[in-house]
Amino acid sequence: MADQTAAPALTVSLASPAQRAWPETVPASGWLKPWQEAIIASETSGLRITDVLVDVGSVVTKGQTLVRLSQDSVLADLRKQAAAVETAKANLAKAKADADRARQLRTSGALSAQNITERLTDEQTAKASLESEEAALESQKIKLAQTTITAVDDGLITSRSAELGAVVSSGTELFHLVRQQRVEWQAEVSARYLSRISEGLTAHINGPDERPIQGKVRLVGPSVSTGTGRAIVYVALPVDVHPPVGLYVTGSIELTTTPALTVPEAAIVYRDGINYVFTAEENRRVRRIRVETGRRNNGEVEIISGIDQSAKVVTSGGAFLSDNDLVNIAG
């Protein structure tokens, strides 16, 4: 009879499932976009660009000069209008003097009523003319100020269409600016989670190069897409984090914290599409138990059903075991 030697027992490590407090998370994905984008445009027409002082990628401050326009024609019109104001002032002085004389002579009969009325009317006309010329002068000063185009807020220049020598029209877009360099994540989530998502919840984003970014929900979109059944959740990123806009990233939003019964990921044995763990009995034999898994976090897996906290779970070597195998327990 052939000598039958039993296979040596495998040495395994055991651990009891741990009770954790884990946040429930909602998977999400979406675009990184500017919090607010400002369009910087020309407010005047017919002037040539003489200086372009910033480019795409420039970080600017509110009031910083970005573009200068030609001032020659504007300065000439300003001087002309200033002269018109002086002329109007002289005309008013003459009309006022004539009106004052008419008022003094009103009771003497030296001037006819028609003549007195004409002089008083001339005074009022001269006043109105001066006000009109002064308003035109203010308009020219505003036009002169508009030859210097400045940043409307602190931020980052993301596009530029201003070209040296180009003649601009009123409303011509010159730059796009990400206000305060603030970027947000416009995360799409399933509509069934909307009632549980609120302002202030923490979001975790898989940023560029897989660098984690943590943000806060600032707004939950009021509508759901009829095509996808998903809604937009707007997540504010920290003010000192400036990832490139236009990237599509994934992440999650934390909901409430709930208890979780967990085992190490190495304890899970995946066979034929089913998750199992091996538990050790008092006779040093193992039993294979089917389990339902849930969340995963920091190398641990949530066990939803199959075992309880009293079980002794094989944490390593389970892939080499079969049901009822004899094992040695590591000290």
Q: How many Cβ atoms are within 10 Å of 123's Cβ, its own excluded?
A: 21
Cα–Cα dist 176/95, whole Å: 53
Taking the chain, what is the end-to-end CA distance rounded to the nearest angstrom?
38
Predicted TM-score (pTM) of this structure:
0.66
Residues 263-299: tens digit of each pLDDT:
999 999 998 889 999 999 888 889 999 999 988 888 9
What's the whole-number mean pLDDT along residues 35-55?
94
Cα–Cα dist 163/26, whole Å: 46
Cα–Cα dist 34/237, whole Å: 10
Could you give the count of Cα atoms lying within 13 Å of 264 in the half-sphere of its Cβ?
14
Please count the residues of the chain: 331
At residue 4, the pLDDT reads 47
Residues 313-330: tens digit of each pLDDT:
999 888 888 888 888 888
Instruction: Give pairs for 130-137: CB < 8 Å, separation 24+.
Output: 130/85, 130/88, 130/89, 130/91, 130/92, 132/88, 133/81, 133/84, 133/85, 133/87, 133/88, 134/85, 134/88, 136/81, 136/84, 137/78, 137/81, 137/82, 137/84, 137/85
203 touches 251 (CB < 8 A): yes
